[in-house]
Every structure is written in structure tokens, then in C-alpha cells.
Amino acid sequence: QKEVEQDPGPLSVPEGAIVSLNCTYSNSAFQYFMWYRQYSRKGPELLMYTYSSGNKEDGRFTAQVDKSSKYISLFIRDSQPSDSATYLCAMEAGNTGKLIFGQGTTLQVKP
């Protein structure tokens, strides 16, 4: 069983839709949670970084962490075609930089 599970999609939505991306995990020691966006043939770009449970908002993006359910989410409001990319969740137990990644969800936002 993988430590981090993420539905690979693909997920296709119309422009302006609210997108919900999710990951589940099994290691209760994870405390640091990240969402990265990766365009084709590019490196991952950090979108959101949260510590422990709770919500964090940055513009159109909201990250949620529910440690009791071992479940994290990324919401994208008013989605744009430029949001079309692969979204990776990542997490770690200590602040070591040794990240465990989900498989990534491919998102397509249609104009």
C-alpha cells in the first residue's frame, strides 16, 4: 500500500468551475503538507505549504488538512485554462525535505 494516495484523473472542468483535489495518507507522523503544480516537462512549483491541521488560503487557492481523517485537499476557485497542469500533493514527517509524493492529478480547464 502506498503511503500517499492521489487519484491520477484526468479531471476536466469548464472555465470558472471550482476544483477539488484530494490526497489520503496512512502515516500519522506526517506534519508538513504541500501542494505543487507541475506543467508538462517542467519542475514542480510550490503552491501551498501547511503545517498540521487547518485551512490556508492564497488567492484562488485554499488548502485544507484534516489529520484526524488523514486527508488533505486543494480547492481552486474560478479555475482558468492556465490552471491546466498536474497537481502533486507531498508530505513529510519532520522538517527534513524528504518528501513523499502522491501520483499527481492531471487537471484540464476548458475555455
Partner 1 sequence: EADIYQTPRYLVIGTGKKITLECSQTMGHDKMYWYQQDPGMELHLIHYSYGVNSTEKGDLSSESTVSRIRTEHFPLTLESARPSHTSQYLCASTGLSSGNTIYFGEGSWLTVV
Residues that bind partner 1 (CB under 8 A): 2, 4, 8, 34, 36, 41-46, 49, 88, 90, 95-99, 101-104
Query: For partner 1, which is the closer residue by CB, 17 or 100?
Result: 100
Query: For partner 1, which is the closer residue by CB, 64 or 104?
Result: 104
Query: For partner 1, which is the closer residue by CB, 42 or 110?
Result: 42
| Three cell numbers written together for 32 | 508538513
Query: For partner 1, which is the closer residue by CB, 52 or 78?
Result: 52
For the bound state, the minimum distance from the C-beta of residue 30 to partner 1, rounded and expressed in Å, comes to 14
What CA–CA distances, in Å, run from 59 to 6, 48, 72, 75, 100?
24, 11, 18, 11, 26
For the bound state, the minimum distance from the C-beta of residue 104 to partner 1, rounded and expressed in Å, comes to 7
Q: DSSP code of 70?
A: T
Mapped onto helix, strand or coil, the DSSP state of residue 15 is: coil
Contact 10, 109 (CB under 8 A): no
